[in-house]
Structure 1
């Protein structure tokens, strides 16, 4: 095998990997809802144990008055000082950042 043929194969393989990665991000540009929920639960666990949690697996549009952002909606319940607290949240589907948090 000539070095030129080997180098051509390596370059072709790298180019194909980059193209596949870019295409997969375009097909699903959002983070996994389970990963987002895990991150949010970890932040809540710093204050008190979690009793339950949920997240919708489909995105919806969230309007904050300036822009529309695709979000996942979900909720967390926990016991705090002997009382049940329930929270609902909207998390940015691209970054996972919480854009809305309400105590219900």
Structure 2
């Protein structure tokens, strides 16, 4: 009763192929940009940042303890605004317990400040 006619790939014109490739390229670029924006606004896990800090401190000697707050805190210095994690490391230096505290960017994981307490 109803006969469907299957179109083969060769029946499409070159203009239709060009339009299809332009549309695919557009959506590919749109996907890349949206993924970049999504990953930029995604915070890292506090435990992963602490592991990185501990790895750097272990290059200089053993550690006695470490901690990090699991909640992000808004932070502003001059014109730079971001969310940060606060943490700390303790170790023995010259037979005395020394403590360090650090501030780490929650999105990039970079250490903003580190100081001896």
TM-score range, shorter chain: 0.7 to 0.9
Moved runs in structure 1, 4+ residues, more than 3 A? none
1:62 aligned to which of 55, 61, 75: 75
* Structure 2 unmatched runs, 5+: 1-8, 10-27
Is the strand fraction higher in 1 or 2?
A: 1
**Match for 2:114 among 92, 95, 101?**
101
Using structure 1 for the length normalisation, give the TM-score.
0.72
User: Matched residues in 2 for 1:66 and 1:81: separation?
Assistant: 40
Say how many residue pairs are matched.
Answer: 90
Higher Cα Rg, which structure: 2
TM-score, normalization by structure 2: 0.65
> Aligned-residue CA RMSD in angstroms?
2.8
